[in-house]
A and B are shown apart, each in its own frame.
Chain A
């Protein structure tokens, strides 16, 4: 592991409440990385998008016109430009169904590729979290992605197993027997509909509790995955399972320190992607509904992709924050030690440069 001085100096200090902002700033300073991961997914996403575009071009053909043409024709037809009419959806149902089935399968394949890309990107971000690099960021990012790929792939398998466990706990036998049967006294024949419960509101609340627990479990598993990868990178661990078990106990001992920065980063993401971008999208939709123009489509494209870019940057910030927390909470590997501490890193000893004491360079 190529850790460097500043990380180790920082490691002695407890991460502050604003770690999430620091991580965001550091991630933002590496645009090449989040633009690269975004671009990779963007290229993958083009496949279903182009399929939709091609289908729609064929379906619309000469059969639809923009609202101006319809107005000039004096016909009671609805423009399909911004929303698909009842008749279009009905009459193209078979074609849309085929498009939907095909898109679902293509997306499934792309989803698998995206998960692998995620495995790779995690290694890349962690490589840069523990290594000070000026220039060549993308190369080191790819290096990290390659170095940790197989270990992080094993982490993905563990994540998948844990998610299956969470799902089983929240929607399977334990939930049914313990919550529905024992706690709520719902007879077994009614576990599917819950009609023996006295009110719809109670059923809704029960559903929220169930879905909320599932979402919480899902989030915790993903956070566990992040810290497990971070631990592997930090300690150059070989066993994903061992790192996972250790991470579990670290998270159990330090729930606030481990969860806070990631929760705050998630909050920022919600604010940016859901609230801010959502409002802009609403605004564009409102304007476009009466007289849609190309500018509206371009604006939507921009908003959606900027939101996606933010999510990629946020992902990077997540690993930078996790690395910082992990450096503080997880001691370095005793046997392996820190080879660079004694010899000063590749190319010779390290020393502060500039006015900032934390600003170290590796002499090459």
Chain B
């Protein structure tokens, strides 16, 4: 595929691409050597466990299970062992890789109780017990006590194309939800809950990574047949990857619920999108489930045509770009199930709509969602660490009380996690080694979807959880030390009680916890510390706040600028400098780079490139080079330099513009006349000196040519000096628009090649009659990469009203804040 970068070969293949696509793709699917399959049949039972008051955090649950795995080797070589994930053990102790990387903490804080673990009781191939051959694996250094990956030696190697069936029994204590999964009271959310085989890649061996802090997904595609045996209280309140088969069977205080993922009809259905690319059938690569007696269930169908009517422009654009008919783009109907907790039940339709938005737009651009059902899960209160996560055909949302659609909460999380069904779910890259391939592509797309479906979000501030739109024009009156004392916010004084005991006795006796304040070193008088309702009255939002909105696409740029150049995007998760670099590169920087790629190649080519990649790697495991190659073939462009510089480099760019303009002066002094004399009155006219264009007709000289005349002689032309600069290593072709006060415009393109020669460019504008009213770099705002856009434009007439506007708001804010303080005084 690398050869495709060279022009002639790529061009020839592109010409033949349409005809040969199916054949060549089919061949790729056979020869990628990463497409082994794993088919599971699982029975699991959950029982209450006796909690340990010192170690646990509320009720505990045990899970015992047995599974049969049929692993089909498609790696192109014989395989002598099997490697499994045992990710539940990330919470077996605080020395796992996950908790070591997190310094003992997770999303929900320090892990000090509510541990969980997983033990494999037996593992067999036929009658051969392999339990003794179990070996803990630590593919990454740093946590020798990590127990999240193990391997077993097979009795004999599995040849390429053959399969092996393994039976495993295991037991586990389910942890309190501290990250991703576990229990909280009766709420159960379980992912990575069974011994799960990794991915074997021909030539590279097992790519079975320990459970890292930030990434966790890489498993073989396959099928799941899972039966869950739970206490009867969960009847009808269980959801899982795939679909439920039949009615739950209630017997003896227990309920059994069976799920198939993908559903039988999905498995038998010919995937029209895969038919153009990978030619594989719908499969899934993981199985997650949830149960809670409190769940409120909402269900409705996603219908493509309803959404197409609302977004006709996007449909037409996709048809034009991809060269497909409406029927070819139409996606299948999908049952969208939302599992909510009662207090947030009023958000049911909003979750449903956000999920539908993702199914529509992602499906339109990258190929339809191939499964008959998708389930959105709202985790219970206190289990928020499980929120905002994706699993095949099921994902967890992230929401809270008192939100509205124009806050994009929960819409942004729901769209993002539903979007992962495409980037992670259907196109399943090796996340630990290239997290940006799913998170970054998804972040780019979710912002595009959010903007199209919901517009910009409004800024708001919460007072005791209740939202108020806008933001205060001034900060709170405060500051360390004296400032806090002046505002009665905090005044610390030495504790006289403690001082007395220490000065005149043997020190303070031991006090019960409710009296600990008596023994503190100092007492803080916090008369006016924040308190929501009081703060609301102080802030007077109704008359002082400033409305503000947020464009999710530009929000990506904000994320990118948190850390624009520490690591290349294309970095394995363990090689990033820190978590900030990981999150910036994997999410926002990739999104910004893709959005800028869209500007570089144009919308149509961009859609074609992304679509080709999505189809080619559907139900497969791509790597970054596969994305770069597939995109270029699909888009029919050669932008390898862009991928190299943006995804494999750390360069940045900051353009700026400086403008000067002045009117040419009449020449003064002694000049040589035609007859050879030197005289004052032989000065040449301005019209002779400068080529001045007719102002109304043709604009500046660069566009319309000179039009000197007698009238111009009296009218001195404008001399322009527009200097554009580039700071940073990235060289990207950019347009500069010059606007004149007669409303004429002139666009200049500063090419990559020219930028290679110099870091500045003085625009070649001939003197002309009109004055420049504006110069704008990248007027269409395609480059989201510019690190500082303050200096990207120049306007002759500044906005005089804007400072007044914000000054007035600050005055309003200060007036009312001070009035509030005055009322404290008397």
Q: In whole Å, how far is B824's beta carbon from the nearest beta carbon of chain A?
A: 5
Most buried by B among A123, A170, A193: A193
Once the chains are docked, how many angstroms separate the CA of A294 from the CA of B801?
7
Cβ < 8 Å to A, chain B residues 789-823: 789-799, 801-819, 821-823
Is the pair A173, B517 in contact by a Cβ cutoff of 8 Å? Answer: yes
Once the chains are docked, how many angstroms separate the CA of A114 from the CA of B112?
47
Contacts of B502 in A (CB 8 A): none
Residues of A within 8 Å of B, CB-based: how many?
126
Is the pair B798, A61 in contact by a Cβ cutoff of 8 Å? Answer: yes
**What are 13 A-B contacts defined by CB distance under 8 Å?**
A73-B745, A75-B780, A75-B793, A77-B793, A87-B557, A101-B479, A109-B486, A115-B821, A156-B824, A201-B343, A222-B823, A285-B547, A303-B543
Contacts of A170 in B (CB 8 A): 531
- List 6 additional A-B contacts (Cβ < 8 Å) besides A91-B790, A108-B479, A274-B540: A44-B818, A49-B807, A61-B798, A156-B824, A160-B527, A204-B401
Q: Confirm or deny: B382 has a beta carbon within 8 angstroms of a beta carbon on chain A.
A: yes
Q: Confirm or deny: A198 has a beta carbon within 8 angstroms of a beta carbon on chain B.
A: yes
How many A-B contacts if CB must be within 8 Å? Answer: 370
Contacts of B818 in A (CB 8 A): 41, 44-45, 107, 110-111, 114
Once the chains are docked, how many angstroms separate the CA of A300 from the CA of B801?
13
Q: Confirm or deny: A338 has a beta carbon within 8 angstroms of a beta carbon on chain B.
A: no
Q: In whole Å, how far is B115's beta carbon from the nearest beta carbon of chain A?
A: 14
Once the chains are docked, how many angstroms separate the CA of A354 from the CA of B813?
46
Q: In whole Å, how far is A195's beta carbon from the nearest beta carbon of chain B?
A: 4
0/1 string, A161-181, CB within 8 A of B gives 1: 101100110111100010000
Q: Confirm or deny: A63 has a beta carbon within 8 angstroms of a beta carbon on chain B.
A: yes
Which one of A47, A64, A114, A172 contacts B798 once the chains associate, using CB atoms below 8 Å? A64
Closest B residue to A87 by CB, please name it.
B789
Q: Confirm or deny: B162 has a beta carbon within 8 angstroms of a beta carbon on chain A.
A: no
Is the pair A66, B483 in contact by a Cβ cutoff of 8 Å? Answer: no
Once the chains are docked, how many angstroms separate the CA of A152 from the CA of B465?
36
B interface, over-half SS:
mixed
Once the chains are docked, how many angstroms separate the CA of A81 from the CA of B547?
12
Q: In whole Å, how far is A296's beta carbon from the nearest beta carbon of chain B?
A: 8
Cβ < 8 Å to B, chain A residues 254-301: 273-275, 277-278, 281, 285, 289, 292-294, 297, 300-301
Which one of B382, B484, B529 contacts A196 once the chains associate, using CB atoms below 8 Å? B382
Please tell me which stretch of A23-31, A50-58, A131-139 contacts chain B, meaning at least 4 of its Cβ atoms lie within 8 angstroms of it.
A50-58
Q: In whole Å, how far is B552's beta carbon from the nearest beta carbon of chain A?
A: 9
Is the pair B774, A56 in contact by a Cβ cutoff of 8 Å? Answer: no
Is the pair A107, B527 in contact by a Cβ cutoff of 8 Å? Answer: no
Which one of B342, B514, B527 contacts A167 once the chains associate, using CB atoms below 8 Å? B527
Cβ < 8 Å to B, chain A residues 24-48: 37, 41-42, 44-48
Once the chains are docked, how many angstroms separate the CA of A48 from the CA of B814?
7
Q: Confirm or deny: B326 has a beta carbon within 8 angstroms of a beta carbon on chain A.
A: no
Q: Confirm or deny: A340 has a beta carbon within 8 angstroms of a beta carbon on chain B.
A: no
Which one of A115, A215, A222, A301 contacts B531 once the chains associate, using CB atoms below 8 Å? A215
Is the pair A304, B812 in contact by a Cβ cutoff of 8 Å? Answer: yes
Contacts of B58 in A (CB 8 A): 196
Which one of B108, B476, B549 contacts A83 once the chains associate, using CB atoms below 8 Å? B549
Once the chains are docked, how many angstroms separate the CA of A159 from the CA of B823?
11
Q: Confirm or deny: A208 has a beta carbon within 8 angstroms of a beta carbon on chain B.
A: yes
Is the pair B483, A109 in contact by a Cβ cutoff of 8 Å? Answer: yes
Q: In whole Å, how far is B536's beta carbon from the nearest beta carbon of chain A?
A: 9
Contacts of A74 in B (CB 8 A): 737, 739, 745, 779
Q: Confirm or deny: B400 has a beta carbon within 8 angstroms of a beta carbon on chain A.
A: yes
Contacts of B788 in A (CB 8 A): 91
Q: In whole Å, how far is A105's beta carbon from the nearest beta carbon of chain B?
A: 4
Most buried by A among B381, B737, B793, B796: B381
A-B pairs, top 4 by smallest CB distance, nearest first, are A118-B825, A122-B826, A278-B542, A53-B807
Is the pair B558, A90 in contact by a Cβ cutoff of 8 Å? Answer: yes
Q: Confirm or deny: B52 has a beta carbon within 8 angstroms of a beta carbon on chain A.
A: no
Once the chains are docked, how many angstroms separate the CA of A333 from the CA of B352?
71
Q: Confirm or deny: A355 has a beta carbon within 8 angstroms of a beta carbon on chain B.
A: no
Q: In whole Å, how far is A169's beta carbon from the nearest beta carbon of chain B?
A: 12
Q: Confirm or deny: A17 has a beta carbon within 8 angstroms of a beta carbon on chain B.
A: no
Q: In whole Å, how far is B735's beta carbon from the nearest beta carbon of chain A?
A: 10
Is the pair B824, A77 in contact by a Cβ cutoff of 8 Å? Answer: no
Is the pair B824, A297 in contact by a Cβ cutoff of 8 Å? Answer: no
Contacts of A92 in B (CB 8 A): 790
